[in-house]
Homo-oligomer: A and B are copies of this chain.
Amino acid sequence: MRVLVLGGDGYLGWPTALHLSARGHEVAVLDNLARRQYDTELGTSSLVPIRDLSDRVDAWSRVSGRSITSYVGDLVDFNFLSGVVEQFAPQAIVHFGEQRSAPYSMIDRDHAVYTQTNNLVGTLNLIYAIAVNDPNIHLVKLGTMGEYGTPNIDIEEGFIEITHNGRTDTLPFPKQPGSFYHLSKVHDSHNIAFACRVWGLRATDLNQGIVYGQETPETTLHPDLATRLDYDAVFGTVLNRFIVQAVTGSPLTVYGKGRQTRGMLNICDTLACVELALLSPAEIGEFRVFNQFTESFSINEMAALVVEALPGSHTIDHLPDPRVEAEDHYYRAAHTKLLDLGLSPHLLDGEVIRGIASVVETHRQLVDPSVMRPLVDWRSVTTGAQPPPASPWLRAGQTLVESPNEFSFRSL
């Protein structure tokens, strides 16, 4: 199968591309390298050193004898995107190409607007590029379990049958996302569902849980094939961060009560799920939703697993929750559709945690503890660091008073 992986230079996009290539698919990646720019902006970097995209692709060619085509450019540039889709002529497109951090989207107005416009316009361009080039292309879009929020009823996979005043319909599951990032994914889901309905596109929305782990069968073939390991408070996913904290003797930072419960999955299961979705594509005109996680844990449970798995004594710091979220809530979410397609989950246990810890141990001299402090506060409203431009629109006699522009990072 010919598969184009958008965001193919990222934490999950790159190992997905390798996995699909190893399994014999013809793979191209498209990326604007924005994730590397966020590192520069935030003063962070992957704990495991990663190579440039062109070096990675070359290394894969040497190691596997297989080639991955790379396109460097922006989904927001429609003509670039559409040109790639026409030239590579994929049968499926896997879309990881979005700004994926909730805290990043909550830094200030600039980052909120960037996140929503980047994700929304990229995905709008994508559905147009598919529609004009080949409506048969199967779009496999990465969403998030965070689209649902934490309703007080069971979460279903995308749709729910509702009986109301004696009538029944199956409708999109109501969404209560918890950040401007999560909101951008809800916007995407609505836009894609519409494109399937109106233009007969076929799409699978993978509402993914929180991913942990860094090694896959392909990335470990050579150091130049490694994917990112993020542990900072903005882009690091929580289990990876806990393990870095435990290995380096820092307290594990739990936000609030720690009873927030979320769906989780191993990085290897991400790759398997994407391939399963590709091999059993959505029908023409179908917008289907899979909840892509294998287990649910509360933050406290994750911290306890790490403490138990790793030698030494560890402390847990309960910090004030910088997010606005229910700290005690019901959580039960369906996730049977990928299992029905044949997923064999890699479950979380001490051995998995010790495996990640050994990767961290190898690079522990690179750990920067300062980046793990949660400095982005959901409740703090600031508007951005840029100086205000001149406002030619104001009428004579009016004055423009500058709005507060202090940076939003709260010191702990």
Residues of A in contact with B (beta carbons under 8 Å apart): 32, 70-74, 77-80, 82-83, 86-87, 109, 112-113, 116-117, 120-121, 124-125, 128-129, 131-133, 151-154, 156, 160, 162-165, 167-169, 171-180, 183, 186-187, 190-191, 193-194, 197-199, 324, 330, 378-379, 381-384, 388-389, 391, 393-395, 398-404
The 8 Å CB contact of A171, one of B128, B154, B176, B393, is B176
Can you name 22 A-B residue pairings with CB atoms under 8 Å? A32-B393, A73-B393, A74-B393, A77-B391, A77-B393, A78-B109, A79-B391, A82-B383, A82-B403, A83-B394, A83-B401, A109-B125, A120-B187, A128-B381, A132-B381, A132-B403, A132-B404, A153-B163, A153-B171, A154-B165, A176-B193, A177-B190
Chain B residues near A324 (CB-CB < 8 A): 197-198
A117 and B330 CA atoms in complex are apart in Å by 35
Chain B residues near A191 (CB-CB < 8 A): 116, 180, 183
Instruction: Please give me the residue from chain B that is nearest to A170 by CB atom.
Output: B152
Shortest CB–CB separation between residue A5 and chain B, in angstroms? 16
Residue among A160, A179, A198, A382 with the highest chain B CB neighbour number at 10 A: A198
B80 near A393 with CB under 8 A, answer: yes
The answer to whether residues A401 and B87 also contact, given A121-B117, A128-B383, A132-B381 and a CB cut-off of 8 A, is yes
Shortest CB–CB separation between residue A169 and chain B, in angstroms? 4
B109 near A113 with CB under 8 A, answer: no
B165 near A86 with CB under 8 A, answer: no
Shortest CB–CB separation between residue A86 and chain B, in angstroms? 5
Residue among A117, A171, A176, A177 with the highest chain B CB neighbour number at 10 A: A171
Chain B residues near A174 (CB-CB < 8 A): 160, 162, 171-174
Chain B residues near A120 (CB-CB < 8 A): 116-117, 120, 187
Shortest CB–CB separation between residue A112 and chain B, in angstroms? 6
